Structure 1
Amino acid sequence: MDERLTKRIDANGIQALLNSTQSVEPRAVGIQFLVMTVLSLLTLITFNILRPNNQAVYEPKIKYHANDKHPPHISDSCCGWITPLLRVNEDMLNDQAGLDAVTFLRFMRLMKWLLTLTTVCSCATLIPLDLTYTLSLKPTGYNILTAMTIQYVQGPRLYAHIVVVYFITLALIGLVFHHWRTMQTLRAEWFRSSEYQQSFYARTLYITDVPTRRQSTAGLYGIFKAMNLPHLVTSVYIGKDVGKLPELIEDHNKLVEEFEEVLQSIQDETHQNERSFITVGGCCGMGGRRQDAYQYYTEQLKRTEASVQQYRAQIELQVPENYGFATIASIPLAHGTARELKGLHPKGLTFQLAPNPTDIVWKNMGLSKGERRFRAITGFLLLYLFCFLSLIPLFPIASLANLDSVTSGYIPFLQTWLKRSPITFTLVSGLLPPAVAGIFGSFVPVLMRWLSRYMGASTHTRLDRIVIARYFGFLVISQLVFFTVIGVVFSKYSFIFGPSASTPSCTIQHQTLGLPVRLVRTYVDQSSFWLKWFALSGFLIIWDLAQLFDLIYTRCRTRSGRRTPREIREHSKPPVFSYDIHYSNLLFMGLIGILFAPVAPLVSLAAAIHFWLCSWIYKYQIMFKYITRVETGGCAWNVVINRLLFSGIFMQVVMVISAFQSLKFFASIPPILFTAAFKHYLGKHFANDFNYYRPHHIEELSRSVAHSEGVDIKLRQRYENPALHARVNSPMVHSENLSRLQGIYLRKFSHNLPRGISEKTMSGISDVAMLDGVQITPVNEVRFFDPTRQGPSFDVELLLRMN
C-alpha cells in the first residue's frame, strides 16, 4: 500500500467510519439481516419438529411415486432430511426425479460456484482497496457500506475493478462451457434411454397451418408424398374441432365438486339441514330462490352429463382442424426430418417434433394464423400496458429504498419522523421496501403465464420457456432499469433542493452532464436495498420449505370435517414444480449478484449465501415433495444459459459506463466481446443439436426399431383431444356414508323411482352406486388424519373402486 495513503488512515478516520454507521441505510441493513436471520432460524427449527409427523405435507413422494422411482430412505429424526441430500448423486437423482430436475439443480450448482468465485475475488480484492481509499479521502456523507464500494474510488485504482470484471467473465465462460458440455452428454443419454426410445411421441411429427383442402387423412398423406421425403410415414391423423365440449366437461366437473361439498355434510348432523338447501340465482348474495341442494345438483348433473354424451356422439360431424400428426418409421428418421425442415415452411406448413400428449395446451392447437397474429398483437399491448402500470408501485418502493436521499431533500414529514422515532424509521426503511417488492412480484408470473397462454402457446413446455424469457426481462426492466432511473431522480432532487441548494448552476450543469457516472453511483447507492432484499428472499425460501400455511389450512379443514374425498386425494398428491417461476427468480438473483460484484462486493456475498441455501432446500423439495409436470429432458437449459450470459454482459456494460470519461473505457470493452463470441460458439457447437437425436455411428442407427406402415393404429388415441374420451367426474362419498345418502334419496325422490325397484337394489353392492340416475363413487379411507395421534399424520390412502 502506498505509504502516503497509509499515514492518512489514522484512528480518527476509523472512528469517523464507525460514527457513520448511525445513518439510516447501514442500520436498516443490519436490522433487516438480524430480523430475517432470527425468523429463518425459528422457521427452520419449526420445520425440523413438524416434518417427521407430517409426511404427506413435506414428503408426499414417499407415498406417491412411480414403481421404479422411489425416493431415498429418509429418517424421522430431527435433521434426518440432511443425510439423503449428501448421499444422493446426480445419476441417482436422474433416475428418481428426471432430467428436468437434474438440469435445474445443475443450474443451481453453476450459479452457486460462479457467485462463490465472484465473491472470493471481489470481496478479497476490492473491499480492502475501496475501504482504505475511502478512509483516506473521508468524503462527506460516507458510511460503512458506501466505504466498501466503488462510490468514491477514482484514478488508477479503478483498474482493479476492471481486472475483477475480467476474472468474472473468465469464470462465467469456463463454468458455462463445462456445464453445457455435461448437459449435452446428459441430453444424448436421455435420447438413448429406453424410456424415450419406447415413447410414441419421439417419432411423431406435428404439422401446423394445414390448408383447408388438405385437412384430411388422405390430404396429409398427399403432403408427404408431394414433398418426396424418403422417410416412411406409418400413419397420420388430422385434428378435430371439439367445439364447446371442454367447457361442458369443465362445467360438469365443477358441479360435481360443489355437490361433494353438500354430500360431505351427511356425516355432520349439526349442519346437515342447513347445507341441504342452496340459493339459486340472485346477485351478490341478494335475491334468488331457495331450492333443495340434492334435487338441484341431481338434475344439473344429469343434464350436463347428457349434454357431454350427446356432443361426443356428434363430434364426427365436426369440421377438421388446421393441424395434424404423422408418425415416422423410427426415431432417428423422425428427428432427421424435423431437423431438415427446421425454419422451412414447405407449402406454407410448419413441421416440428410432436410434444408429449400430456404437454399440449389443447385450447390453442387449432388457432389459425390470423387468430395467432391478433392474439399476439393484443397480448403484447396488454403486456406493455401492464409494464407501464407496474411503474406506479415502483415510486413508493424507490422512495423507501432511497430514504437517505429523500430525507436529505428536506421533506418535512420524513425528517420529523426520523428525529422523533429513529428506530421505527429504520425498521420501515429496512423491512418495508423489499416486502412491498416481494408482494408486488408474487402475482406477476401468473399474469405472464396467462398472457402467454392467451397469445397461443401450444404446450406447457413452450409456456415455461416464454415465461422465463418475459418474466426475467420484466424484472430487469422494472427493478433495475426504471428502478435506477427513479433513483437518479431522487438523487438529483436531493442534490438540487437539499443542503447543497446553494451550489452554483455551473456545478449543477456539470452534474447533469455526468449522467453515466450518476447512473453507476445510483446502482451503488441502491446496493443496500438489494442486501435487504436478499435477506428477505432467504427467509422466504425457508418459509416455503416449512409450508406452514399449507399445514395450518390442512389441519383446520380436517378438524371442521369439510374436506371431501376428492380434496383429500388431490391435496395428498405431490405438487408440480414451477420451473418457469423459479428459473426466472434465480436468474434475476444471479444477475444482481454478478452486476454488483465489481461495484458493491457485499451484494455478491449475499447472493452467494442465498444460492448455497437454495441449493440445499430445492434439492430436498425436488427429491421428496415436487414432481415434474412433463419430462422434457432439460430443454429449458438453452433459454436459461442465454439469460445468464446476458447478465454477464449487463455487468460489463455497467463497468464500461463507470469508466466512460477515461482511458479505462477501452480496457472495459473486451469482456463484452469475449462473452458475445462465446455465445456464438455455444449456439454453433451445442445449441443446434440440443433438441434432436443424432446417432453417433451406424450400429446405433441400426439398433433403432423400425415400424411398418399400418402398425401405428394408436396415433388417433394418443393425439386426439382428451375431451373426446376423458372420463367425466362422478361425485365421491365416503363408503360409510353411502347408506345415509341412499336413505336421503329414497325419502326425497321415491316418487320418481320406477315400480319394482327396492332399497336393496340400490344398496350400492356394485362398485358404483346409481342414485336417481346419478353415478356415485364410494371411497374407502384406510386411515384418517388425526392431529392427536403420534406417528405419521395425514397418512391417507384412497382406494377408488370405479368401473
Structure 2
Amino acid sequence: MEIADLATSAGINLALAVLFFVLYSVFRKQPGNAGVYFTRHMLREKEKEVKKQPFSFEALVPSAGWVKKSWDPTEDDILHSSGLDAVVFLRIFIFGLRFFSICVLVGFGVLTPLNFTDNYLSRNPDEKYGTLEKLTILNISFGSKRLWVHFGVLYFISISAYVLLYVEYKHITNMRQEYLSSVMPQPDQFSVLVRSIPPPESEDQSYSDNVDYFFRRFHPMAYLSHQMVYHSSLIQSLRKEMDSLKLKILSLKQKAASQRRPCRAGFCGLYGPLVDPVELHTQKMEDVYHQIRELQTSFRNKQSEVPTAFVTFKTRWEAATTAQTQQSSNPMTWATEWAPEPRDVDWSNLEIPYSQLFFRLILAGVLAALITIFYIPLTGSAVALANLDSLKRYLPDVIVDALLKIPGLKSVIQGYLPALVLSAILYFVPYFMLYLSQLEGYASVSHQERKAAGKFFNLLAGNVFLVTVLGGSLVSIIETFAVEPKLIPRRLAEAIPSQAEFFITYVLTSWTGFPLEILQTGTLVLNFLKRHTVERKQQPLLDTVQSLPYYRTIPSILFFILLGLVYSIVNPLLLPFLLIYFILGYIVFRNQVLFVYEPAYETGGQFWPEVHTRIISCLILMQVLFIGLFSLKGLSRASLACIPLPILTLLFHAHCRQRFQPTFKNFNLESTMKKDMEDEASGRKEQVLNEIQTAYLHPALHDITLDVEHNSNTERLLPASSAFDDTLPV
C-alpha cells in the first residue's frame, strides 16, 4: 500500500468522525432530543416534559463540553450509577489503552527504526511492495541478527500482557467481592432456578405441589416459597398489544380534540360510524384489559404449568448450598442453578423442556458454523477490493483500467472501500448470533448475550482474520494441513504481513463507528418523526429504553486487541491507529453509559473471565505465528526459543482461573453467612423475606392498569436510586 492510499482512508474517516461529533454536540443541546441523548435522566426522574427555551445561537454552536462531562465522573460514580457490568466493560478499554501505549513506545522507539534501516525489499525489485512495507518486519534481511530484537520484544510484550491482565483480573475480582458484600438484599441472592421437575404421581397433584413437597422435605428449615413458570404466550401477546394501545392514546392526547381526525369504528377503519380515535383506542384497550383479566383468573392451573420453578429460601447460605449441589440421585431431575435477577429472566426460554437443551446447543453450534462458512465468500469479496490485481480476476481488464483513469479513485478503492464493505457485511451478524443463543434455551438474557458475544468473536477471529490473511492461499493451507500440519504456522507467517495495510484501513473505518454510536442516528430520526407527526415538537419522547449491547461491542473490541497483538511486531504502524480507537471508544462509551444506556440487568461483571480467556487465546495465536515467522525469516533458533511462550501463557491462564475465576462462578458460603447474620442483627430480615417472595411472580400474573402513563417500555429498570445523575440540557 502506498502512503496516498492510507492518507485517503485516514482523511475520509477523520472527516466523517469530526462531522458526526460536531452534529452530536449540536443535537444534544436541543431540548427535543433529550429522549435520545439523556434517556437515563428522563427514565430515573420520570421527567416527561421540558420547558420551552428561548432561541439561542449558543445551542447551534458546536462544543466539546460533553467530553468533560463524560470524563469527570469517577469509577465509583459509574459503579453507583450504572453498575459493575458497565465498569468492567470500560475496564476493557483501559486495558487496551495501557497495553497498546506500551506497544507504541516499543514499536516506534525500537522496531520501526530497525526495520527501516535494513534494505531487504530494495534488494528484491521484482517484488511489488509499497513504501509503507519498509517500516515492517518484511524489510528485515533473511537470517539477520536484527530479528533477535524482535524476539526480545515478543517476550517483552507477552510479559506486559500477563502483568496488565493480572492487574485487571485482580482489580475486577476485588470489585466483585466488594459488590457482593455491600449490595442490598436482592431476590436472586435468596433464590434458585429449578428445572426438570418430575411429573406429579397422581392427577390430583400438580408440579407446584411436587415442588412444595420436595423442598419442605429436604430443606425444611430454610424453604420459604416458590413461583411456578407457566405457558403464557397468549397473555404476553395481549399485554404487548395493550402497551401499544397506551402509546397511541398517549400520543393522541397531545393533540387538541379539534385536531384529531375522526376514524370509523369498523374493521380496520373501513366502515362504521365516525368516532374520536382516543375513544376508539380506549375502548380497544378496555377490551384487551378484560381479556387479560379473564385469562389470569384461570391461569393458575396444572394444565398451564411448566416443570420449572423459582424456589426462594430464608437465607442466602441455603440458596447457595442448593444452587451449587446436586439435589437428586438422577442429575437430570431437580436440576438447580442460581436464579438470574428478575429483570434478567427470559420467561419464554423457561418453557423449553430441560432435556432439549443439549440438542439445542448442538443445533445452534451447527447453525453458527454454517453462518461462518456462508460469510467466507462475502468476507473474501470485501478483502479482494483492497488489491486491484485480485480485482482483475473478477472484473474485465477494460473496466478496471477505466476505473483507474479516474483521479483519486484508486486510493479510494484500495484505502477506504474494502473496510467499509466489510463493516457493512458484518453489521447483522451479532443479531444472528444472539438469536442462536436464545435458541439454545438459556434462562437469562445476560447469559444469552455472553454466548452471542463468544460466537461473534469466533466469527471475527476465524473468518474475518483468517480469511483476510489467507486470501487465495486457503487451498494451499488446507493441503499443507493434510500433508504436513507442522508447517501451518509457517504458511500463516507468510500471509500475515501482506494484509497489515488492509487491517489499518479497517481500524480507520472503525473510528467512524464511535461517532455514529454517540449520535444514535436511528433513534434520532425516529424521535424526530414521532415528535413532528404527533405534533409534540417541544416534548421529548421516551417510548423505549436501550441497554448497552455487550454482545455487539465486546467482540469488536477483542478483535482489535487480536489485531494489535498479531501486528504489534510485524507492522508497528497499526499501533497508533489502534490506540486512537481505544481512546475514542473509552470517551464515547463513558458518555453512553452515563447518559444513554440503562442497565437491563446486573451480573457483577461475570463476562470478564470470558474476555480474559479470549485475550489469552489471542496471545497464544500471536506466539504460535511468530514461531513460523522466525522460521520463515531464517532464524530457526529464535523459533525454537519461542516454543516455551504458548506454554507459559497457558500456565498463566491456569493460575488466573484457579486464583480468580471461582469468585465469578460461585458464591462462597462465608460471605453468604455473614450477610445473613447482618440481616438478623439489623432486624430487617422479615421485611426482606416478605418482599422477595413474589419477586419471581410470572409476568402474565402481574397486575395491569388502564393508566396510559404506565407502560412496560418506560418502567424504571433499576430499583435503587442513582448516585450520579446529570441534568437535562438548558
Pair 1:566–1:50, CA change in 2 (3 A)? closer
Return the offset for 1:517.
4.1
Return the offset for 1:704.
3.5
What residue is the counterpart of 2:482 in the other structure? none
What residue is the counterpart of 2:74 in the other structure? 89
What residue is the counterpart of 1:171 in the other structure? 160
Partner Cα separation in structure 2 for residue 268 and residue 371 of structure 1: 57
Pair 1:689–1:298, CA change in 2 (3 A)? closer
Paired residues of 1:332 and 1:693 also in contact (CA < 8 A): no
- Corresponding position: 1:558 with 2:531: yes
Return the offset for 1:62.
3.8
Partner Cα separation in structure 2 for residue 405 and residue 596 of structure 1: 23
Runs of 5+ in structure 1 lacking a partner?
A: 1-23, 68-74, 282-287, 493-511, 733-767, 769-774, 776-791, 796-803
What residue is the counterpart of 1:779 in the other structure? none
5 Å-filtered alignment, 1:242-253, equals: 242=232, 244-253=234-243
Paired residues of 2:469 and 2:495 also in contact (CA < 8 A): yes
RMSD: 3.8
Partner Cα separation in structure 2 for residue 727 and residue 267 of structure 1: 27
Q: For residues 704-757 of structure 1, what are the alpha-carbon distances to aligned partners after superposition, in whole Å with 9 as ceiling and x for unaligned?
A: 43598999465552212111124266657xxxxxxxxxxxxxxxxxxxxxxxxx
Return the offset for 1:537.
0.8
- Corresponding position: 1:210 with 2:197: yes
Paired residues of 1:268 and 1:561 also in contact (CA < 8 A): no
* Aligned-partner residue type, residue 10 of structure 2: F
Counterpart secondary structure, 2:119? helix
* Aligned-partner residue type, residue 434 of structure 2: R
Partner Cα separation in structure 2 for residue 123 and residue 279 of structure 1: 74
Pair 1:672–1:637, CA change in 2 (3 A)? same
Paired residues of 1:249 and 1:728 also in contact (CA < 8 A): no
Paired residues of 1:345 and 1:351 also in contact (CA < 8 A): no
Paired residues of 1:204 and 1:354 also in contact (CA < 8 A): yes
What residue is the counterpart of 1:232 in the other structure? 222
- Corresponding position: 1:338 with 2:316: no
Partner Cα separation in structure 2 for residue 673 and residue 439 of structure 1: 38
Q: 1:521 aligns with which of 480, 494, 501?
A: 494
Partner Cα separation in structure 2 for residue 279 and residue 386 of structure 1: 46
Paired residues of 1:240 and 1:720 also in contact (CA < 8 A): no
What residue is the counterpart of 1:670 in the other structure? 644
What residue is the counterpart of 2:214 in the other structure? 223
What residue is the counterpart of 1:193 in the other structure? 182
Return the offset for 1:451.
1.9
Structure with the larger RCO, 1 or 2 (CA within 8 Å, 6+ apart) = 2
Paired residues of 2:415 and 2:505 also in contact (CA < 8 A): yes
What residue is the counterpart of 1:285 in the other structure? none
Return the offset for 1:218.
4.5
Paired residues of 2:38 and 2:728 also in contact (CA < 8 A): no
Pair 1:560–1:241, CA change in 2 (3 A)? closer
* Aligned-partner residue type, residue 655 of structure 1: F
* Aligned-partner residue type, residue 615 of structure 2: L
What residue is the counterpart of 1:611 in the other structure? 582
- Corresponding position: 1:311 with 2:295: yes
Partner Cα separation in structure 2 for residue 704 and residue 143 of structure 1: 68
Structure number with bigger Rg: 1
Counterpart secondary structure, 2:639? helix
Counterpart secondary structure, 2:336? strand
Pair 1:47–1:347, CA change in 2 (3 A)? closer
Pair 1:711–1:677, CA change in 2 (3 A)? closer
Partner Cα separation in structure 2 for residue 408 and residue 244 of structure 1: 55
Paired residues of 1:190 and 1:633 also in contact (CA < 8 A): yes
Which TM-score applies when normalising by structure 2? 0.83
Partner Cα separation in structure 1 for residue 110 and residue 258 of structure 2: 69
Partner Cα separation in structure 2 for residue 593 and residue 686 of structure 1: 26
Return the offset for 1:459.
0.6
Counterpart secondary structure, 2:408? helix
Partner Cα separation in structure 1 for residue 538 and residue 291 of structure 2: 26
Pair 1:513–1:582, CA change in 2 (3 A)? closer
Pair 1:347–1:715, CA change in 2 (3 A)? farther
What residue is the counterpart of 1:439 in the other structure? 424
Counterpart secondary structure, 2:679? coil
Q: For residues 368-412 of structure 1, what are the alpha-carbon distances to aligned partners after superposition, in whole Å with 9 as ceiling and x for unaligned?
A: 134434533443343333222222322320211233554599961
Counterpart secondary structure, 1:315? coil
Q: For residues 213-263 of structure 1, what are the alpha-carbon distances to aligned partners after superposition, in whole Å with 9 as ceiling and x for unaligned?
A: 28644422443466x569622333333333532123234444555666777
What residue is the counterpart of 2:700 in the other structure? 723
Comparing 325-334 with 514-523, which one deviates more in the overlay? 514-523
Partner Cα separation in structure 1 for residue 486 and residue 312 of structure 2: 64
Pair 1:608–1:345, CA change in 2 (3 A)? farther
What residue is the counterpart of 1:537 in the other structure? 510
Partner Cα separation in structure 2 for residue 92 and residue 25 of structure 1: 46
* Aligned-partner residue type, residue 424 of structure 1: L
Q: 1:35 aligns with which of 2, 8, 12?
A: 12
Paired residues of 1:242 and 1:318 also in contact (CA < 8 A): no
Return the offset for 1:606.
1.4
Paired residues of 2:112 and 2:136 also in contact (CA < 8 A): yes
Partner Cα separation in structure 1 for residue 678 and residue 338 of structure 2: 17
What residue is the counterpart of 1:114 in the other structure? 99
Partner Cα separation in structure 2 for residue 323 and residue 397 of structure 1: 47
- Corresponding position: 1:361 with 2:378: no
* Aligned-partner residue type, residue 698 of structure 2: N
Counterpart secondary structure, 2:308? strand
Partner Cα separation in structure 1 for residue 527 and residue 439 of structure 2: 33
Pair 1:465–1:138, CA change in 2 (3 A)? same
Counterpart secondary structure, 2:18? helix
What residue is the counterpart of 2:38 in the other structure? 59
Partner Cα separation in structure 2 for residue 136 and residue 421 of structure 1: 30
Q: For residues 758-800 of structure 1, what are the alpha-carbon distances to aligned partners after superposition, in whole Å with 9 as ceiling and x for unaligned?
A: xxxxxxxxxx9xxxxxx9xxxxxxxxxxxxxxxx9999xxxxx
Counterpart secondary structure, 2:312? strand
Which TM-score applies when normalising by structure 1? 0.76
* Aligned-partner residue type, residue 512 of structure 2: F
Pair 1:596–1:280, CA change in 2 (3 A)? farther
Partner Cα separation in structure 2 for residue 255 and residue 546 of structure 1: 29
* Aligned-partner residue type, residue 535 of structure 1: L
Return the offset for 1:289.
5.0
5 Å-filtered alignment, 1:698-713, equals: 700=674, 703-705=677-679, 712=689
5 Å-filtered alignment, 1:368-767, equals: 368-406=353-391, 412-413=397-398, 415-417=400-402, 419-488=404-473, 516-548=489-521, 550-561=523-534, 568-570=541-543, 575-660=546-631, 662-694=636-668, 700=674, 703-705=677-679, 712=689, 717-727=694-704
Partner Cα separation in structure 2 for residue 205 and residue 218 of structure 1: 17
Q: For residues 423-476 of structure 1, what are the alpha-carbon distances to aligned partners after superposition, in whole Å with 9 as ceiling and x for unaligned?
A: 112212222111111111211111211221122121111012111111111111
Partner Cα separation in structure 2 for residue 417 and residue 444 of structure 1: 35
Pair 1:268–1:481, CA change in 2 (3 A)? farther
Partner Cα separation in structure 2 for residue 490 and residue 348 of structure 1: 48
Give aligned pairs, total. 676
Return the offset for 1:357.
0.8
Q: 1:129 aligns with which of 114, 119, 128?
A: 114
* Aligned-partner residue type, residue 179 of structure 1: E
Paired residues of 1:239 and 1:321 also in contact (CA < 8 A): yes
Pair 1:700–1:522, CA change in 2 (3 A)? same
Paired residues of 1:238 and 1:324 also in contact (CA < 8 A): yes
* Aligned-partner residue type, residue 621 of structure 1: Q
Partner Cα separation in structure 2 for residue 188 and residue 209 of structure 1: 32
Counterpart secondary structure, 1:365? helix
Paired residues of 1:487 and 1:522 also in contact (CA < 8 A): no
Partner Cα separation in structure 1 for residue 357 and residue 673 of structure 2: 44
Paired residues of 1:209 and 1:369 also in contact (CA < 8 A): yes
Partner Cα separation in structure 2 for residue 149 and residue 793 of structure 1: 50
Partner Cα separation in structure 1 for residue 580 and residue 329 of structure 2: 47
Comparing 717-726 with 652-661, which one deviates more in the overlay? 652-661
